[in-house]
Chains A and B, each alone.
Chain A
């Protein structure tokens, strides 16, 4: 899956979790805390949606390393490419 496609899917997940009626704009440098304003619960909700959508498992340790959107894209690309969980 291309980075652009993953980013688009992530944008949909952020929209779903934030339940914003307005659009959310993200780029790879967008920060989960400062730019997307995810609170503690929303971070968990995002992980839940990523696991469902991409059929992958994300460990707690991996999740702690997510600072920007690109970190998530790297992880998804890695896992979907190699087929490992």
Chain B
């Protein structure tokens, strides 16, 4: 751990740097503009035609020349996951205005799959040619913590690093743990978020064989339709999103720009089933997050939903919201960024947290697109199809993952006069 600034007091935690690479392209501005305009980042995956998959859609990140963003690095030696994360980390550090003398910063990167393309490559060589042909660099290239370690090496961050695996809640859990480190006074700044690149043949094939999980809608842009009665699964996508969390006084001292404040984190385990979501566990995470933030349910304005577009998730999430918020649920605005971005697994929570921060800052709530037919089991206000202007002060961002891993973060529009 980095130098302990002060462990005797509870600290306010703000976000002073953000960067994302998504199916919309590079940057937070691109992400926000497309979300607000209700655009879809989903397309046909023509490069996988040879596999004759029955499901041919996804949300890949458009082509990037990584060398342009990572000077001096042999990008061809890295997994795509690593290059994306390294590039995003650099953009976040620049955005936060962190100088070379201020790099005693820990790194926590959440991911569902990590450098999975390297695993596919390694096991293919092993199956085809035996162990003698496995390249020695396979070990470091495919280890789960390759990216956080490479971030520390390439960007010279000395505060310790690790990868965090909590399936589709990984990015949110990474930010939640980073928030706690700063809140409790153990760290001054932490770089955290999520990166996932799961669109490779073996992973896509496994998802397809899992049945009823991926959307079977042949129209790419209409395939992800959270909370709509005719939803029939999620759309697999890629994403990379890292933020710099910082203790408020530290941010003020260096006159950093402040995007927003993180005021609570709650996690829970369903302790129920490895793949089936459960509203009771989800509601528990929401309640814990609100308790950590010292908030009454009625003080929340907006929920950035997990909203995957699977029949089970959206039904259970709606139930969980009702359990946590009671009658007030019907006054809440709820929307799903995955209707536009698809599901980027461990990156999704970090991307959605950024979108929530921008919603608070700009007073605009991105819509849930493809919402055509109401489902009696999903009867909340999902901001259908059109963004909504609404000044909001407090939001929560939900991530509910396989394994029954639930992570919820509470965010507040930053005002200096606010209290803990």
Contacts and interface: CB of A to CB of B under 8 A. Distances in A.
Interface of A: 18-20, 41, 44-45, 48, 52
B331 interface: no
Contacts of A48: 135-136
B140 interface: yes
Given A19-B74, A20-B74, A45-B136, 10 more contacts: A18-B74, A19-B77, A41-B136, A41-B140, A44-B136, A44-B137, A45-B135, A45-B137, A48-B136, A52-B133
Interface of B: 74, 76-77, 133, 135-137, 140
Contacts of B140: 41
A19 B136 contact: no
A52 B129 CA distance: 12
A85 to B, nearest CB: 14
Nearest to B76: A19
A44 B133 CA distance: 13
B327 to A, nearest CB: 59
Contacts of A41: 136-137, 140
A20 to B, nearest CB: 7
Contacts of A45: 135-137
Contacts of A52: 133
Contacts of A18: 74
Contacts of A19: 74, 76-77
Contacts of A44: 136-137
A52 B74 CA distance: 23
A20 B75 CA distance: 10
B133 to A, nearest CB: 7
A55 to B, nearest CB: 11
A5 to B, nearest CB: 24
Contacts of B77: 19
Contacts of A20: 74
Nearest to B75: A19
A48 B133 CA distance: 9
Nearest to A47: B136
A45 B74 CA distance: 15
14 contacts: A18-B74, A19-B74, A19-B76, A19-B77, A20-B74, A41-B136, A41-B137, A41-B140, A44-B136, A44-B137, A45-B136, A45-B137, A48-B135, A52-B133
Contacts of B136: 41, 44-45, 48
A52 B133 CA distance: 8
A70 B76 CA distance: 29
B84 to A, nearest CB: 18
Contacts of B133: 52
A61 B223 CA distance: 59
A44 B140 CA distance: 12
Nearest to A18: B74
Most chain-A CB neighbours within 10 Å: which of B76, B77, B133, B140? B77
A19 B77 CA distance: 7
Contacts of B137: 41, 44-45
B154 to A, nearest CB: 13
A23 B399 CA distance: 48
Contacts of B74: 18-20
B132 to A, nearest CB: 8
Lowest 8 A-B CB distances belong to which pairs?
A: A44-B136, A19-B74, A19-B76, A48-B136, A45-B136, A45-B137, A19-B77, A41-B137
B96 to A, nearest CB: 29
Nearest to B141: A41
